Amino acid sequence: MTQIPPDPLDSPATAPDPPRPVLPLEYGAYDRPPSRLAFAGRIVAGFVGYIVLNIVWIRVAAGSRLNPPTIVFGWVLMTAALLGLAFYLRKRYGRAGYGYGILLVLLMAVGLVLLIIGICSR
């Protein structure tokens, strides 16, 4: 006579497997991607802040009656320091955008000078 295997649905309930340990997720696994609006805001902050600092520098230099080479050297030094600070913020804290605002001001200044030269050369 052949034996018939027991029906699994008719067998008594078995205990579930014990839970297995799970490796924890890496730090920052659920971080959201950075907002584009925040990035644009940092560009605007770098743009406006650099313009304000330039105006302040020119007023202080003119008020102190500094000679032109000193004014230009101070401006170059200030620009390099601000770009360095923007680079540090990007590398250390991941806050990109401030340097783009500063570079945008410089690019617009070069474009304005070229526009004036083009208009006046006619």
pLDDT in tens, 25-51: 676 556 667 788 989 999 999 999 999
Query: Per-domain residue ranges for the chain?
Result: 36-120
| Nearest one of 54, 100, 47, 96 to 77, comparing CA atoms | 54
Binned at pLDDT 50, 70 and 90, residue 53 comes out as very high
pLDDT at 46: 93
pTM, rounded to two decimals: 0.66
pLDDT digits (tens, 9 = 90+) for 55-91: 999 999 989 998 989 999 999 999 999 999 999 999 9
| Nearest one of 61, 65, 63, 85 to 75, comparing CA atoms | 61
Q: Is the dihedral of CA 91, 93, 94, 100 positive or negative?
A: negative
Alpha-helix residue ranges (DSSP H) falling in 64-97: 68-93
